[in-house]
Amino acid sequence: MYHLGQGQMDLSDRIAIEIGINRKDSFKKIARLLNRHPSTIASEIKTNRTYFVGEYYRGIDCQRARQCKLTNVCGERLCYSICVKCKLEDCREYCPEYKSMTCKEYVSPPYVCNNCSQRRVCHKERYFYSAKHADALVKRRRSESRIGLRLESDELKELDRLITGLVRKGQPLTHIYATHENDMPICLRSLYNYVDSGEMTIKNIDLRRKTSYRPRKKGRARSLGFMDQSFREHRTYEDFLQNMKAIADDEIVEMDTVKGVREKGKRLLTMIFRRNSIMLLFLLPDGTAQSVINIFNYLETSLGLEVFYRLFPIFLTDNGAEFKKVGRLELNEYLVSRTTVYYCDPMASWQKPHIEKNHHYIRYAIPKGKSLNPYVDEDITLLMNNINSVKRPSLGNRSPYDMVEEDDVEMYELMRLLKMHPIPPDEVHLTPALFIKK
């Protein structure tokens, strides 16, 4: 017997669901534990699971993509490039030999890959259910649904008639709401917001106590920093996922910064290419947006606009203040587009997992809490070469440098510019002793 009407799920419910999935419990067993219907458990998992993009060769989920040498499958006779490397057409739509390697296990219960035995080495499209991430997603969705006006025009007119007449009698809004709470479709806070936004006949000047308060002074960092979210418009993680159908995974570069200690001074700007796991490290003099812009300008000037665009077409980063001047990141000084930037959700570092995981390698040599001020560019280049020379099971026991394809001219040009080169396997060093001069 299932007891319905238990209200909205909270974090403790979602933790129980995650534990149940990991223990391979059935939806019926989880539902009995939470006094809910099994369909509610299934809906919660499918709605709030986390999607991870498949890591395929050049973004093509075909079994023979890496070995494929076919040309002209789209019928374009004047094209001589290999179809799997074409950026104008999707060869999967034309190729008769296309065989998808996408895993479909997640289309049936439990709809996620939490307890799959291959989850740690799988590079296909996959879903995971995390109680913490699911709860954060629900709260964000609920918050966004409450933004803006929610009343129909007739309801708003009726509310306006009631409020305006009583305010003009000298009644405060608190008194009006206490008297007519059952007649109002909104709460008192929303009522103030409607007046403040100019949706009512009365204005703030008609509210005697409100005009007697001075506006609260906001610090520059708060008013222009955290509160200003205009840079995220059309560049959110949701926008990123919606556009992923037109974006190959190997075009994405994840970006972040690494601090030493809580002090003003040097920072590390980190980038990682999803296609080959090559990580770039740049030593910044400080954590300002201009320092990041200077790196973009340096790379574009040194490589040329076309090479820069082919190497860095899509950036996925967090909401740090150093990345907020999106116009100057996406456009060069001549206002020509050179890249596109998307932003992860706040407090959701798991949305750019590659760069976050690779930061561990940095911490092996530069422990957390150690200032970056003593280091110079040559030190960071040395660290970058050692990190990119580490062979990893996730790459088939190859290093990121081993993953660079022979015909990837742009990548080799970038490596020459930044003095990047492999370190012999037995000489790879990732401890603080790396920087001790011999």
Per the model's pLDDT, the better-predicted residue between 142 and 97 turns out to be: 97
H-type alpha helices, 23-118: 27-34, 38-48
**pLDDT per residue over 62-118, tens digit each?**
888 888 888 888 877 677 788 888 877 888 888 888 888 888 888 889 999 988 888
Measured between alpha carbons, how far is 74 from 424 in angstroms, rounded to an integer? 43
Asked if residue 212 has pLDDT above 60, the reply is no
Q: Check whether residue 269 and residue 368 sit in a common domain.
A: yes
**CB-CB contact of 207 with 173 (8 Å):** yes
Pairing of strands 340-343, 314-317: parallel
Residue 40 within any structural domain of the chain: yes
Judge if the upstream peptide bond of residue 110 is cis by omega within 30 degrees of 0.
yes
Q: Check whether residue 375 and residue 298 sit in a common domain.
A: yes
CA 61 to CA 250: how far, in whole Å? 12
Q: Which three-class secondary structure state does DSSP give residue 194?
A: helix
Q: Examine the domain organization and report whether 168 and 269 are in the same domain.
A: no
CATH number at residue 307: 3.30.420.10
Residue 121 and residue 259 in one domain = no
3-state secondary structure 100-115: ECCCCHHHCCCCCCCC
Residues found in the chain: 438
Read off the pLDDT of residues 25-65 as tens digits, 9 standing for 90 and up: 999 999 999 999 999 999 999 999 988 877 788 778 888 88
Residues 257 and 205 in one domain: no
Examine residue 218 and state whether it is found in any structural domain, yes or no.
no
Evaluate if residue 146 carries a pLDDT over 80: no
Report if residue 223 sits inside a domain. no
Query: Positive or negative, the Cα torsion across 166, 170, 173, 175?
Result: negative
Burial (CB count <10 Å: 0-12, 13-18, 19+), residue 326: buried
How many angstroms separate the CA atoms of 281 and 294, rounded?
14
Output the CA–CA distances (angstroms, integers) from residue 232 to 193, 229, 320, 393, in the order listed. Answer: 24, 6, 11, 36
Residues 84, 70 contacting (CB under 8 angstroms) = yes
Kindly state whether residue 220 falls inside one of the protein's structural domains: no
Residue 221 lies in a domain: no
Question: What type of residue is 269?
Answer: L
In a domain, residue 219? The reply is no
The pLDDT, as a whole number, for residue 226 is: 47
Asked if residue 127 and residue 80 are part of one domain, the reply reads no
Q: Are 235 and 343 in contact (CB under 8 A)?
A: yes
What pTM was computed for the model? 0.54
- Distance, CA of 122 to CA of 294 (rounded, Å): 37
Give me the residue label for tokens 């440098």.
401
Tens digits of residue pLDDT in 274-330: 989 999 999 999 989 999 999 999 999 999 988 998 899 999 999 888 998 888 999
Question: CA 262 to CA 334: how far, in whole Å?
Answer: 36
pLDDT at 216 over 70: no
pLDDT of residue 199: 81
Whether 410 and 358 map to the same domain: the answer is yes
Q: Are residues 180 and 236 in the same domain?
A: no
Contact 421, 385 (CB under 8 A): yes
Percent of the chain beyond pLDDT 90? 34
**Is 225 part of a structural domain of the chain?**
no
Residue 45, token pair as written in the block: 């998992």
Same domain, 304 and 364: yes
| pLDDT (0 to 100) of residue 382 | 95
One domain, residues 254 and 361: yes
Same domain, 275 and 180: no
Q: Are residues 198 and 279 in the same domain?
A: no
Is the four-CA dihedral 339, 344, 360, 377 of positive or negative sign? positive
Domain count, the chain: 4
Tell which wins on pLDDT, 168 or 148.
168
User: Which range (333-337, 398-402, 422-426) has the least confidence?
Assistant: 333-337
Looking at residue 221, its pLDDT comes to 41
- Nearest CA to 278 among 408, 384, 120? 384
Is residue 339 a part of any domain in this protein? yes
Residue ranges making up the domain that contains 162: 153-212
Please, what is the average pLDDT of the chain?
A: 85
